[in-house]
Amino acid sequence: QKQIGLCSDDEDTVSMAMTVFDRLVSASMQSLAQVGRLEVGTESQVDRAKSTKSFLMAFFQEHEMHNVEGLDAYSACYGGTNALFSTVGWGQSEAWSGQYGVAVCSDPAVHPQPEALSGIGASAVGMLVGAEPVMAVEPERVSFIKQAW
């Protein structure tokens, strides 16, 4: 491991997700009206009741946009992968509206055993999923999920 990123006390999975979503929309120069799905992958709940996606909907609320499908996937390191696969699946389904999907992966990864360096560190990434991809997701996929601690 060459680098590790940690967040400060005033950041959490929501603030990191909001930052990466805002940067993705700004960098892609897409209108929020072109987003039809928003999926979040994380392993950190904020208050055990409200999803991170609910907080991200504040960006759409300013434009009175409330019809954005998606949810949070809470699943350790696999949450982000699931968010991407789910968003791609939506784009390949009959439910696809022709709009873009966004997969946001965000986690401060604070674990009860901080001495395990491979299990800590903060990161966030946003991916725009659409009909004209820069990178293709192959139809054949393999997942590896194992219960271990």
Name the pTM for this structure: 0.82
β-pairing, 100-107 with 35-42?
parallel
Cα→Cα distances 148→76, 86, 107, 145, Å? 11, 24, 19, 9
Helix (H) or strand (E) holding 73: strand 72-74
Q: Determine the Cα–Cα distance for residues 59 and 102; give it in Å rounded to an integer.
A: 13
Local confidence pLDDT in tens for the 149 residues of the chain? 677 777 777 888 888 899 999 999 999 888 899 999 999 998 877 766 788 889 999 999 988 888 999 988 887 778 888 899 999 999 989 999 999 999 999 887 766 666 665 556 788 889 999 887 677 787 787 777 777 66
